[in-house]
Amino acid sequence: MEFRRLGRTDMQVSLICLGTMTWGEQNSEADAHAQLDYALERGVNFIDAAEMYPVPPKAETQGRTDAYIGSWFKARRNRDKVVLATKVAGRGGGPRGDFTWLRDDKQPPNLSRKQIVEAVDKSLKRLNTDYIDLYQTHWPDRLTTNFGRAEYPWNSEDTIAIAETLAAMAALIKAGKIRSVGVSNETAWGVMRHIHAAETDKLLPRIVSIQNPYNLLNRWYEASLSEVTQQEDVGLLAYSPLAMGVLAGKYLNGARPAGARLTLFTRFTRYSNPQVERAAERYVALARQHGLDPAQMALAFVNTRPFMTANIIGATNLDQLKADIDSLDLKLSKEVLDGIDAIHRDQPNPAA
């Protein structure tokens, strides 16, 4: 396993990070524990969760993912072997509903101090731990171009100031509840405003990471965020590296395998449009032309990007998890990389 420094912290995280958003929906508690055991055996020390998991988010299942991780910590007594990341939901990202069931007062979530304190205390209890290593905002409090929204959603709604959110995080760090702060589904402007706030007020924590989508079908991160985060020591934690499994080739020609995510849930339309299907077909064909597993080729590409800190993989069974981790051993040839770039130039970012 390869390890990389998380931002400017002293934490070393595995290049492969274990994603958990299917636990409690597609995966049972026993499945989750088996994945955690196997990942830890393979050297994975980084786990990523969120208060609203599993996905799709529902009031009746919310928090199960945390609870499964918490029961594993209790059973294995190995909290010190893991770098644990989780997220707090804000107002801006809710593409489906307003998630009022997340908070005791039944108000839509936001990134105010009051709501962040409530969220972290609930997460700590479910996770059966005293501290969280990386606490991330799941999305900005404002609307942005995330979750497949291509056009900027200009709006005049009041939002929680970034400085207020960071002040809440500072209080949590002081209290020993969290160790560091990150963002997710954020823009280049947003990253720089977080950094500016911390540089202006030294009492505010500096963000150490950003968790955004990055895969062969969505390389939008490269356009501006890669430079920002490289220059400012903000580590990319890439999610959806297989584009919800599309890059594994299992949905080609309209196939919908039983139990697969895009079969079960129709909400992920950004990964099922005709442009995505055409590009995915070409990437899968490229992999097979060179005798490679398509999923491993897609993951190896993400693993080797110079701006990458961790690649967040998700699996619904141990065979998938093993193959995903094995992508670390795959070195892509110049011919494969040239082929990837040729497809990207011809069909850039169909899932952005």
Percent of the chain scoring above 70 in pLDDT: 92
CATH of the domain at 65: 3.20.20.100
E strand or H helix at 55, and its extent? none
Q: Would residue 320 count as lying in a domain?
A: yes
Q: Would residue 177 count as lying in a domain?
A: yes
Cβ atoms 85, 309 nearer than 8 A? no
Residue 53 annotated to the active site: yes
- Residue pLDDT, tens place only, 175-229: 999 999 999 999 999 999 999 999 999 999 999 999 999 999 999 999 989 999 9
Cβ atoms 42, 1 nearer than 8 A? yes
Query: Using CA atoms, how far apart are residues 238 and 340, in angstroms rounded to an integer?
Result: 18
**Per-residue pLDDT, 86:** 98
Q: Would residue 257 count as lying in a domain?
A: no
Q: Would residue 32 count as lying in a domain?
A: yes
Q: Would residue 307 count as lying in a domain?
A: yes
Of the listed 38, 53, 152, 214, which one is catalytic? 53
Residues spanned by the domain of 93: 3-244+301-331
Full-prediction pTM beyond 0.85? Answer: yes
Percent of the chain scoring above 90 in pLDDT: 81
Unique residue bearing structure tokens 């080797």: 304
Number of structural domains, the chain? Answer: 1
E strand or H helix at 180, and its extent? strand 178-184
Cβ atoms 336, 290 nearer than 8 A? yes
If you average pLDDT over residues 108-129, what whole number do you get?
A: 96
Pairing of strands 178-184, 132-137: parallel
**Per-residue pLDDT, 96:** 44
Strand partners, 83: 46
Q: Would residue 156 count as lying in a domain?
A: yes
